A and B are shown apart, each in its own frame.
Chain A
Amino acid sequence: MTKKDKAKELFVLFLAFFKTGFFTVGGGYAMIPIIQRVIVEEKKWLTETEMIDCLAVCQALPGAIAVNAATYIGNKRNGITGAAVATIGMLMPSVICITAVVLLLGALGQSTYISGAFTAIKASACGLITVTVFDMAKKVLRKPFHWTVALLVFIAIGIFEIMAVIPIILGGTAGIVYMAVKRKKTEAGGHQ
């Protein structure tokens, strides 16, 4: 690959995350439908399962999930340079938009048009995330074990508002135990 091709590839990577960042409104999770569309369906840089794994890793580590995902996917595509380019792409919309808000508006929430637009975008993001998580669930939730974990995590965080770290640690541990038990069972079955 020539230097020019390489530079072009990095620019495409930058743009993909810049675009994703710009349409992430209402928190990191709002990014998931956009990443699914831009990175998985359009660019085909990750399969759907790889994206779920990416989210699992990014969620378990400190930092913003959207930024972590940019680092993760950038690194997978083009190594450390790719990671840096994608991360900067994801951070730029924050820098640009916040600067614009501070300089132009002084403070947010003065304009009913703007607050109306954001309320609508957040409501719409709920719909987009619901569709994405539904597609993901079809892929991931294949056994009663998976359903139980997903449901418990949802109840713990959505209803009891437990800090996300705790279900993440417990979920990972449950997976290790589940696989170990399953392996024992198949081994025992094999000896009969």
Chain B
Amino acid sequence: MKFIHLFMVFFFIGAFSFGGGIAMLPLIFQMVQKYHMLSPEKFSDLIAVSQAVPGAVAPNAATYTGIEYAGIFGGILAAFSIALPSFVIVLLVMKFMGRYRKSRIVEGIFEGMRPTVIGLISAAVVFIAGTSIYRPAPFSVELIPLGIFMVTLILSGKFKINPIIIIIVMGTAGAFLCG
């Protein structure tokens, strides 16, 4: 019964949360609270855990809730349930796009969507910076993360170092410098 419950809740979240990642969290919080899937103290961990662990945010939140609610299989089930709706939708949209790729409407949509993506990603930088480089209220700048940001800009932008290597090096440095 718990498994069916998990499947339904996370399938619903997967189908109706737009904007990806962090924008999905409010709906996840609402649903998890509404169906009492986590105790209040586990719930406050949910936010930290989903964003501070490798992997996409929404599947992280789903896995965490699933494990706490129904064990490890619950975690796996929740992760797959939240991904299933978009899996089907992406495949359908790609099929549709393949057929109408040359149409004026689809062409126009992409003409507008490409710069939209640039704006969205730039805004995401500001958001992630707000959780690491600066604190929004009261405004303050963290110097070591700021330094890490600048060094990353140079290593990646100028020297084209592999981002995976940069992440490993900066993460290790941060463990000792930012703790």
Q: Which of A94, A107, A174 is packed against the most chain B CB atoms within 10 Å?
A: A94
**Chain B 77-90, CB within 8 Å of chain A: the 1/0 string?**
00110110111011
A12 interfacial by beta-carbon distance below 8 Å: no
A90 → chain B closest CB, angstroms: 7
Please provide the chain B residues from 132 to 179 with a CB less than 8 Å away from any CB of chain A in the complex: 132-133, 142, 144-146, 148-153, 156-157, 162-164, 166-167, 170-179
Q: Which residue of A lies closest to B50 (CB)?
A: A98
* Residue numbers in B under 8 Å from A87 (CB-CB): 83, 87
CB distance from A144 to the nearest CB of B (A): 11
Interface extent on B, as a size class? 35 or more
Interface pair A23/B177, CB less than 8 Å apart? no
Count of chain A residues with a beta carbon within 8 Å of a chain B beta carbon: 108
Query: Per a CB cutoff under 8 Å, which of A76, A99, A151 touches B119?
Result: A151
In the complex with contacts A98-B63, A131-B157, A34-B163 CB distance below 8 A: yes
Tell me the nearest residue of chain A to B131, going by C-beta: A122
Q: A128 within 8 Å of B by Cβ?
A: yes
Q: How far is the CB of A169 from chain B (nearest CB, A)?
A: 10
Beta-carbon contacts of A84-103 to B below 8 Å, as 1s and 0s?
A: 10010011011101110110
**20 A-B residue pairs with CB within 8 Å:** A26-B128, A59-B19, A62-B14, A62-B17, A62-B85, A67-B59, A91-B59, A94-B60, A95-B59, A98-B49, A99-B63, A108-B48, A122-B145, A123-B129, A126-B128, A129-B121, A150-B122, A175-B110, A179-B104, A180-B108
